[in-house]
Amino acid sequence: MHISIIGSGYVGLVTAACFAEFGLQVTCMDQDPQRIAAMESGEIPFYEPGLQDLVRKGRQGGRLTFTTDLAQAVNQALVVFITVGTPSTDDGSVDVSSIEAVATGIGRAMTSYTVIVTKSTVPVGTGQRVKFLIESAQREPVRFDVVSNPEFLREGSAIEDFIRPNRVVIGAECDESVAILKDLYRPLYLIETPIVATTIETAELIKYASNTFLATKISFINEMSVLCEKVGADIRMVAKAMGLDGRIGSKFLHTGPGYGGSCFPKDVAAIISTGKEHRCEMGIAQAAVDANARQKTRMVEKIRTALGTINNKRIGVLGLSFKPNTSDIRESPSIAIIRLLLTEGAYVQAYDPEAMQETAQQLPELKLCSDSYEVSDDADAIVLATEWNQFRNLDLERIKKQLRTPIFIDLRNVYQPTRMANMGFQYWSIGRVSPVPM
Ligand code: UGA
């Protein structure tokens, strides 16, 4: 079967490469000729483990091709996926103008029965809007179906998430389009992936409800960590014991400096906005947003308490991306914290295995270091902001020697408080009482 992917960003390219791996004939379209030329020469515009190899394999096997021509992409495919961006607007609602433009383009180009699938995260009602725009743009009536098939990919493990998903959600209006989509995902039957077939509106909402729930879970544990510090409890044990209850589950109970990335902040804001539109108060989602904002400022308070003052201090930061295994710094708590530190007069030096280039463009006043150890050079404190594997097994003696004062602020609870104290660090973490150095 031949399919096309419109929009070769993160979701689009992962989807294209994985479907090509499933053995389908895939055309990946983007309006940006430079992006397409780069991808044709084997370059991937962002860092995602395993993606470059998968794209190369698809291209070499002749199953993955690239184009800037929307009409060509639409005409040769039975299924067309829309994977263009849906950014947030200032009021938290979602800008679906790129989706609308693509829908109109598809309507104009379509010459035979096609299934149009929205994979981008889109507000409830977008599927019907896409249907309307395609119908309006058609020069002569051509039969088509619209389907919602939201993605649940996590940056950093997107390929694994695509190939071994927890579930596939298909929102459709007719059995024919559901059957076609099921056929695309046939390799997943072998691993008995549950397929949830439902209406378009329900599928659209499942995506937002899932992300909002996960964001709320993180905000919940972050708020608990504050209480842990006040009452002398250990958040790791609280989370562990909570997670052993099958109804709660152990995932997404890891406390940190707040959630970030291109999805959670945007999607929680969007569901609040959809709630407003329908006069439905989304109080829990709003509380998750507020707690997340507080968490970042609390991290700066923690650093201030550890150092006495932030002004004129040299602070080393490990990790810039919003989480490990990605170069993405969008809504990264590390970046938000660095900005606050800079505003308070700190001199910040930082290192990240993948996100240095992006950060250099956004924060030119930040000193970027060449490795994990340069970060501690002559610094008054070191802050571990993103839990990259490289930072889990650091040469702590070396870091201690390089620091002016042995202050280690671990915003991801990577290290053991007692061990750090025994090594002579003033160790600060989240939701755990700091032991006194020996
Ligand atoms: C998230 C969802 O997990 C995906 O299922 C979804 O497809 C994706 O959004 C999307 O909507 O496209 P992603 O943004 O890549 O994926 O990142 P996550 O791994 O979910 O992490 C989000 C943030 O939460 C990170 O800042 C991470 O550090 C933080 N987090 C996560 C915690 O602070 N604690 C945890 O226990 C888990």
In ligand 1, the atom with minimum distance to the C-alpha of 207 is 11
Nearest protein CA to atom 30 of ligand 1, as residue: 259
The whole-number pLDDT of residue 45 equals: 86
How far does residue 421's CA lie from ligand 1's centre (Å)? 31
Catalytic residues, by residue number, are 263
Q: Hey, whose CA ends up nearest to atom 19 of ligand 1?
A: 154
Structure confidence at residue 42 (pLDDT): 84
Reported pTM: 0.95
**What is the predicted pLDDT for the residue at 41?**
87
Domains observed in the chain? 2-198 (3.40.50.720), 201-438 (3.40.50.720)
Tell me if 219 sits within 8 A of 239, measured CB to CB: no
Closest CA to 178 of 200, 151, 159: 200
Taking only the tens of pLDDT, the chain with its 438 residues reads 999 999 999 999 999 999 999 999 999 999 999 999 999 888 888 889 999 999 999 999 999 999 999 999 999 999 999 999 999 898 888 999 999 999 999 999 999 999 999 999 999 999 999 999 999 999 999 999 999 999 999 999 999 999 999 999 999 999 999 999 999 999 998 889 999 999 999 999 999 999 999 999 999 999 999 999 999 999 999 999 999 999 999 999 999 999 999 999 999 999 999 999 999 999 999 999 999 999 999 999 999 999 999 999 999 999 999 999 999 999 999 999 999 999 999 999 999 999 999 999 999 999 999 999 999 999 999 999 999 999 999 999 999 999 999 999 999 999 999 999 999 999 999 999 877 665
Q: Cα of 151 to ligand 1 centre, how many Å?
A: 13
* Closest atom of ligand 1 relative to the 151 alpha carbon: 7
* pLDDT tens by residue, 36-78: 999 988 888 888 999 999 999 999 999 999 999 999 999 999 9
Measured distance CA(26)–CA(7) in Å, rounded: 13
- Which residue has the least CA distance to atom 6 on ligand 1? 152
